[in-house]
Every structure is written in structure tokens, then in C-alpha cells.
Amino acid sequence: MRQRPTPDGAIPTRRAASLLLALGALAAAGCRAPGAEVPPLGSTRHAAVAVDTDGGRRELTFLAGRVDDEEAEVLARLAPNVRLLRGLSEEEALARAGELDGVDARYATPELLAAAPRLRWVQAFSAGVDRVLAVPELRARDEVLLTNMQGMHGPTIGDHVFAMLLQLTRGLDAYGARQAEGRWDRSSPPRAPTALAGRRLLVVGLGGIGTEVARRGDAFGMDVWAIDRTPRPGPAFVDRTGTPADLDAWLAQSDVVVLCVPLTEETRGMMSRERLLATRPGAFLVNIARGPVVDTDGLVEALEAGHLGGACLDVTDPEPLPEGHPLWSAPNVVITPHVAGWSESTGERVRDLFRENLRRFGAGEPLLNVVDKAAGY
């Protein structure tokens, strides 16, 4: 199968893994079956060097979160000139801010940034960095690179999207209730089961996650359309690609719409009340991106009016969704509590990306998954 052209110069997992193995690190990715589809590990799209380390001779300090001894040994082998501080409290971190060259984004508070003049790298352990970029001190400091986990959740969230969608299209919620009662009841559930084959899937945001959603949609026999911010051809399993300018027209022609965009100034409220009501009647909306991409009141209205066929939400606005919120009781809704990316595979991919970035940090090589702070992702 043709891989997506990589204007971002994405590094295939197997190459990255062999790098890690060459350095004596454990790399689970190196054990994959030959021929398996392996989404890329890390993007060089905005890659940049955080600190010139004179070929690894300069000593650096990175403040990590909780890292166990075994993993700390692996990291020390990969980046021998990087001293790792681990598991400090916020107060302890602040007291040592002056020593820091890099930090886990969980420590990147305004106070720490103000007290850390040497700081050159912040590593977020999430793909979305909307909350990290809400710290103005980080946005303002051009010399501090922010890297994220963009793309690391793709395979798992791709699975989760179809798990939620199939619950609605195959009536699994209704059959599940009958099973819980121990009842063999073959009568049609209130919402008649439907097939995905031949339906049109619109993926909004064809990045790390969107690509995996599109790949699975193609395998289900769907006609896959995708919208990206930057116009470019998609992979072979995407039948048509467009830009945000196509959104209104394409929403009206799609049966399943999956939101895979980051939360930015451009995407906040992207699925407005008007757009929700302009979707094809009976369409399913899936949001695994961020809650505020969708107008929640408009969504409830479109569901209650029976305009939307259903919604699958791993993220909501607000979050957590409060008890008694109308979305809990809206018809044909599947809600999971922001867990779509959880799996051992995501954990391994996140770990491998961090190992590789720490190695690059120490070696003075360009970091992967550098965020464009102005664009917000």
C-alpha cells in the first residue's frame, strides 16, 4: 500500500528503532512483524536543534516526571551527557529551575519559565498542546522549542473511533442491554443496524490520527474523503483530499464525520450549530480531537431534533462532562471519558519518541515533533 507522501520527512518506526537498538536501548518497535503497517515515529516537519552540545560534549539537565530506574538507565545510555532529574515536586523543580536545559511540559508553569534562563526544550507528553501553549511565557520565548506526541496515538485512536461507531451502527448498545438481562431477543433494536461499506467517511485533519482513521475506513469499504489545513495529496486509501474551504460542501455529502484536528484558533468552534445542522441528515459525528472544536449546545440540538444519526464523543466541552448534562441523555450518543488513546502500543510509541528526542537533545541533533507555536500544533 502506498504510504502518504511525507512533506514532513517523517521517520519510519523501524529506522528509529534501529537507531535505538544501535545505542543499546530496548526498542519494542524493532520486534514488529515484517510487512506490518507501521505508522511513523515522529515528524521532522519543523525539526530544529535545541542546544548546540559540541558533539555531545556539553552537559545538559532535563527535568523529567516519574521515570523508573530501569528506564533511567536506558536514557542515560542514549544521552550520557544529559543529567536526568526525576520526580521532583513543583516546589523542588522551581528551586532548581536555574539548572534546567529541558523539562517535561507538566512542569512548564509561568513561574518555572521565568526562573529558567537556560531552558531550551519543553517536551509535552500529549499530542494536543492547547493547554501547554496557554502559558504565554512559553509562547513568547522563541528560543524554547516545544515538542509533542503528535501521531503517537494514531493506531489506538483509529481503533477506538470504529469501536464507538460500530456500537451505534451495529446496535451493540441495545444488544448489550439484552445480554445483561440474559435475554435472547432477535427483534430489531430501536435504531436499525446499518452497514459502513459504501458510505462516505470524512476525516477532518489528516494527521497522525486522521490517517489511521482513514486507513481503517478504507478497510471497511468506505469512500474516504479528507480535509487538511495544507493542500497536498493523500495516501492511496484516501479517495479525495481537500482544504478547510471544502468543509461546508463536504459535510453535506458525508455519512460519517470524524474530527481529528488540534484545538487552535482556527478549529475552536469549527463544528458550529449551523454546520452541525448542515450535515447530511442521519450522519454520525465522531469527536476524538478536543471538546471545544464542537459547539456543544448545537450538538445537543442536532441530536434531539433527529438531524444527526448519532455522535461518538471521547472529548466534550466541558470536560469532565458534568452529571445531568443533556449530552448524557441525548439520543444515539456514545461517550468515553477522554481515553481513546490509551493502550500499551501508545505507551510504547510515546516512550520511544521521548527516548529518541532525549538522545537527539544530548547529541545536539534536531528534535522530532517540534510544534509550530504560532499555528498551535
Does residue 146 touch ligand NAP according to CB under 6 A?
no
Q: Which of 113, 111, 87, 117 is nearest to 99 (CA)?
A: 117
Q: Is the CB of 95 or the CB of 339 nearer to ligand NAP?
A: 339
Residue selected from 104, 314, 317, 356 as contacting ligand NAP according to rule CB under 6 A: 314
Nearest to 41 by CA among 169, 202, 152: 152
Nearer to ligand NAP, 78 or 161 (CB): 161
Distances (CA, A) of 371 to 5, 16, 184: 20, 20, 52
Cis peptide before 320 (omega within 30 of 0): yes
State yes or no: residue 263 binds ligand NAP (CB under 6 A): yes
Query: Residue 215 Cβ, how far from ligand NAP at the closest point, in Å?
Result: 13
Closest distance between ligand NAP and the C-beta of residue 186, in Å?
35
Residue of 79, 107, 77 lying closest to 365 (CA atoms):
79
Q: At its nearest, how many Å lie between ligand NAP and the CB of residue 153?
A: 4
Q: How far is the CB of 148 from ligand NAP (least distance, A)?
A: 8
Does residue 363 sit in helix, strand or coil? helix
Per CB under 6 A, the list member of 99, 266, 348, 365 interacting with ligand NAP is: 266
* Cβ proximity to ligand NAP, 67 vs 127, nearer residue: 127
CA distance 84 to 338: 30
Quote the least distance from Cβ 154 to ligand NAP, whole Å.
6
State which of residues 240, 273, 307, 338 lies at the interface with ligand NAP (CB under 6 A).
338
Of 109-117, 201-209, 302-310, 317-325, the window that binds ligand NAP (rule: CB under 6 A) is 201-209
Q: Contact with ligand NAP (CB under 6 A): which of 10, 105, 127, 133?
A: 127
Residues 6+ apart with CB under 8 A from 35: none
C-alpha angle 65-66-67 in degrees, rounded to nearest 5:
110
d(CA 278, CA 269) in angstroms, rounded, equals 15
Is there binding between residue 120 and ligand NAP (CB under 6 A)?
Answer: no
> Is residue 352 at the binding interface for ligand NAP, with CB under 6 A as the rule?
no
d(CA 171, CA 199): 17
Number of residues engaging ligand NAP in binding (CB under 6 A): 34
289, 299, 300, 367: which one binds ligand NAP (CB under 6 A): 289
207 to 246, contacts with ligand NAP by CB under 6 A? 207-210, 227-230, 244
Measured between alpha carbons, how far is 102 from 51 in angstroms, rounded to an integer? 10
Contacts of 65 (CB under 8 A, 6+ apart): 86, 87, 104, 106, 107, 125
Under DSSP, the state recorded for 226 is E
Q: Minimum distance from CB of 91 to ligand NAP (Å)?
A: 30
The least CB distance from residue 362 to ligand NAP, in Å, is 25
> Which residue is nearest to ligand NAP, using beta carbons?
207
Give the whole-angstrom CA distance, residue 92 versus residue 131.
22
Task: Please state, in angstroms and rounded to a whole number, the distance separating the CA atoms of residues 84 and 349.
Answer: 20
Residue 85 phi, psi dihedral angles, 5° rounding: -95, 135
- Sole binder of ligand NAP in the list 85, 168, 315, 334 (CB under 6 A): 315
Residues designated catalytic: 290, 319, 338
- Using the minimum distance from each CB to ligand NAP, give the nearer residue, 54 or 265: 265
The nearer residue to ligand NAP, 268 or 307, going by C-beta atoms, is 268
Residues 6+ apart with CB under 8 A from 329: none
SS3 362: helix
> How many of the other CB atoms lie within 10 Å of CB of 233?
11
159 contacts ligand NAP (rule: CB under 6 A): no
Query: Which of 267, 296, 316, 357 touches ligand NAP by CB under 6 A?
Result: 267
Interaction site with ligand NAP (CB under 6 A): 127-128, 150-151, 153, 157, 204-210, 227-230, 244, 260-264, 266-267, 288-290, 314-315, 338, 340-341, 377
